[in-house]
Homo-oligomer: A and B are copies of this chain.
Amino acid sequence: MSPVGSGEESGDTAVGPKHHRDAVQQAAARLFSEKGFTATGVREIAGEAGVDPALVIRYFGSKEKLFLRTMTMSVDFADLMAGPLDGLGERAVTFVLGRTRTGGPSGPYGAGGERSYSAGVFAALLRASDRPTVRAHLAETVEEMFVGLVAGRLDGADADLRARLMAAQLTGLMTSMHVVEDPGLAAASDGEITRYYGRSIQLLIDG
């Protein structure tokens, strides 16, 4: 739920040695965000993490719980949304377009041991949203990222609604680019997309 922390959720059922758990989480994050929920098997995750398949379940309870724990929006994105409202539209679009990777320029792994690809995370979540738990997780993410981080700071009427519609616009860009993978959008220049789409989003922010 909360953006990827430092993996210190020690209040949980902390089973297994930490480096094994982290290895599983890391492998899961990469595979899930790259191939999606169904196409990624527990055996595969275990293989990449170098642990036994049975341990994956033992550590996290189920494949689905592991998915929910690992597929979480990047902290960078939250930082962005918490930033100044002025020019936020263009900045958000730029982020969605270019910054697919998170957790440092190209360093190995983040402090928490996980490396998230925002685009992949989003696509995986959307595609697995048949599952009620995943759908709830998605809705919660939207709630925290947008309603929570920007709605309260919007001037004018219908702040809550405008924040949600802004979220919808960003959702649309992410979906078109990373789920539908519209080749026409991929071919377009980032600058032009940012200009047109950023203006639309800013319009909702400014009211």
The residues of A with any CB-CB pair to B shorter than 8 Å are 35-36, 38-39, 126-130, 135, 138-139, 142-143, 147, 158, 160-162, 164-165, 167-173, 175-177, 179-185, 188, 192-193, 196-197, 199-200, 203-204
Complex Cα–Cα for A147 and B183 (A): 12
**A135, A182, A188, A204, most chain B CB atoms within 10 A:** A182
Q: What residues of B have a CB within 8 angstroms of the CB of A175 in the complex?
A: 126, 168, 171-172, 175
- The one of B130, B168, B203 that contacts A38, using a Cβ cutoff of 8 Å: B130
Q: How many copies does the complex hold?
A: 2
Complex Cα–Cα for A138 and B176 (A): 10
18 chain-A/chain-B pairs, Cβ below 8 angstroms: A36-B130, A126-B127, A126-B179, A126-B180, A135-B181, A143-B182, A147-B184, A158-B192, A160-B184, A161-B185, A161-B188, A164-B182, A164-B184, A165-B196, A165-B197, A168-B172, A168-B176, A168-B185
Chain A's interface: helix, strand, loop or mixed, by majority?
helix
Complex Cα–Cα for A72 and B167 (A): 26
Q: What residues of B have a CB within 8 angstroms of the CB of A142 in the complex?
A: 176, 180, 182
Q: Are B200 and A169 in touch, CB under 8 angstroms?
A: yes
Q: What residues of B have a CB within 8 angstroms of the CB of A171 in the complex?
A: 171-172, 175-176, 180
